[in-house]
Structure 1
C-alpha cells in the first residue's frame, strides 16, 4: 500500500506528465485522435479537467460535511465532456491548469481529522476521501498516455503500475473473472490469479497493465498467441 505522501507525489508527477503531453501538442492537434476510440485529444483533456473539479467536490464534501457528489448523473458527466471537447485550445489548456490548481486547494482545505471521511466515487462506492488522491493519480497517468503523444505505460512509475494492475484484478475478481493469471516477466513472478487458471498472460509490468486497462496487447502473450482483449474493468 502506498503511503498518502507517496500517492500525492504520484499525483504531482502524473499531473506534470499529462501537462507535458498537452504542451507538446500544437493547437490544431488537440482536435486530433486520442488512443481512446471515439474520443479526440480534446475529449481527453476536457475529461481530465472536469475530473479534477469532480474530485474537488468530494474533497469539499469531506471538509464541510455537506454532501457534494462528483456529478449529477452519468448523462450529465458525458454531456459535460462532449461540450468541453468543443472548447478552444486555449480554453482547454486553461481548464486543465486551473482545475488542477483548484483540486490541490480543495485537498489542502481538508482538516487532518477528516481525511477518512466517507464519500462516494463515480461508481457509487463509499470510500474514504483519502482515496481521491489515488483516483486522481490513476486518472492523469493513464490518460496522459491516451493523449497519443508518443508516451506509453512504460513511462509510468512501477509503483503506480502495480497499484493500477491491482485495482483491475480486484474488479475482475469481484465479478468472478478468476480464470486469468498474470505473469510479470520483468519481476519474475506471477502477479495474481489461480495457478490452474485457464489463461495465463505474460509480459512486462507496463505491457500487462496496458493490456489489462484495455490499451492493446503489444508486448504481452498467452502461450504462442496474442491474448484476447482483457475483461472490462470500468
Structure 2
C-alpha cells in the first residue's frame, strides 16, 4: 500500500482463542453489568450504568503472558458479535495472524497461524474482490485513469499499477515458497518498487486494465497451487527476518479493498464485504490505544456493541459508528470530524 502518503503499514496483529463466554451485540441483548468497564489500554475503569437496552462489557482479565488482552468480532445471526478471552492463552492452538514485522530479526520464520479454513475463506474473498475491482474499472477511459485519485500525488493509473505490482510481488513470494526458497516481495528494494509504479501509471486505460487482469490471474493461480504444507512452513524475507506467508491472502484482500476506495470512483467503505470488515477489525482494534493522541481516551461503540474505552486519560469523545466506518478510520480513510486523528499505523 502507499505507506508514504497514507501511513498504511503493517500492524502488529493480536489474536486469542475464541472463549466460551461472549456478549452478543443485538437489540435488546444485555450482558450482566460489570463493576469495571473494559479499556483497550489493558486497564479497567469505573463503569457507568449501561443505557437501557444495551450491553456493558465486563473487564478483560490480564493474560498470564504474551501481551495485552484482545477482543474478537464475528458476524452472527443477530449481527456483529464481540467475544472476550477469559482463559489462559494456549500457544499450541491460538489463532494469531502473523504480520510481517512479528518475527524478530535473526529468530527465523514465524510459525503459520492462520487456520486453513479461515485462509480458504480469505482466498475466496480475494478472488471475489479481484473480479469486482476489474468489473468496476472495465469502462474507464484514458482521461479517467490520468485523473487524481484520493491518494495525494497518485493518479488512478498509479493506484491500478500498484495493485497489479503488489499481486506480482505475492506471486514471487509464493513461487519461491513452493520451491523451498525465501524471497522478498520487492527484492530490489523500495526505490525499485516506486519506480515500477511510476513507470506504469501513465499507460492507456486498456493497458492498465489488461495488466490488472493478468496480474490478478497469476496470483489466483499461485494461491490455488500453494499447498497447506507450504502455507504452514513457507516464509518471505523482510529485512534480516524471515516471516510466515500464512496471512498473505488477507493482506492481498486488504490491498484490493482499501485501494479500490482510493481510486475515488464511487466505491466507499460502506460497500466493503462484511467478512472483510470483521477480519480486519478484530486485529486492528487492539492497536488503537497506541495511536490515540497522548493522554486521551475515547469511548467507542462499534455498531450496537457495548461501549469500549480506549486509551489512557480522561474520556474526551464518545462516538458510535458502523463497523465499516471504524475500519475506514483505522485505515486513515475517514474525514469524520468527531473522530480524532490517529498516529501512524505501525
Same-fold call, TM > 0.5?
A: yes
Runs of 4+ in 1 over 4 A off after TM superposition: 121-126, 170-173, 178-182, 194-201
Instruction: Report the equivalent of 1:8.
Output: 123
Structure 1 residue 210 and structure 2 residue 328: aligned?
yes
1:148 to 235, 248, 264: 264
1:56 to 159, 171, 185: 171
What CA distance in whole angstroms lies between the structure 2 residues aligned with 1:182 and 1:51? 36
The TM-score with structure 1 as length reference comes to 0.84
SS at match of 1:3: helix
2:190 to 74, 77, 84: 74
Higher mean displacement: 141-150 or 112-121: 112-121
What CA distance in whole angstroms lies between the structure 2 residues aligned with 1:159 and 1:197? 33
Cα deviation per residue 1:39-74 (whole Å; 9 max; x = unaligned)? 110000000000000011111121111222110211
What CA distance in whole angstroms lies between the structure 2 residues aligned with 1:145 and 1:186? 21
RMSD, matched Cα: 2.7
- Determine which structure has the larger helix proportion and give its number: 1
1:212 touches 1:231 (CA, 8 Å); kept in 2?
A: no
Offset of 1:150 from its aligned partner? 0.8
Higher RCO (CA < 8 A, seq sep 6+): 2
Instruction: Report the equivalent of 1:177.
Output: 291
Map 1:115-126 → 2, pairs under 5 A:
115-120=231-236, 126=242
Distance 1:87 1:135, change over 3 A: same
Which blocks of at least 5 consecutive residues in structure 2 are unaligned? 1-94, 96-116
Map 1:80-91 → 2, pairs under 5 A:
80-91=196-207
Higher mean displacement: 37-46 or 108-117: 108-117
What CA distance in whole angstroms lies between the structure 1 residues aligned with 2:209 and 2:237? 25
Offset of 1:146 from its aligned partner? 1.1
1:188 to 305, 316, 337: 305
Higher mean displacement: 148-157 or 41-50: 148-157
Offset of 1:88 from its aligned partner? 2.0
1:21 touches 1:144 (CA, 8 Å); kept in 2?
A: no
1:47 touches 1:81 (CA, 8 Å); kept in 2?
A: yes
- Determine which structure has more spread, i.e. the larger CA radius of gyration: 2
Instruction: Report the equivalent of 1:97.
Output: 213
1:62 touches 1:119 (CA, 8 Å); kept in 2?
A: yes
Instruction: Report the equivalent of 1:111.
Output: 227
SS at match of 1:80: helix
Instruction: Report the equivalent of 1:222.
Output: none
SS at match of 2:232: coil
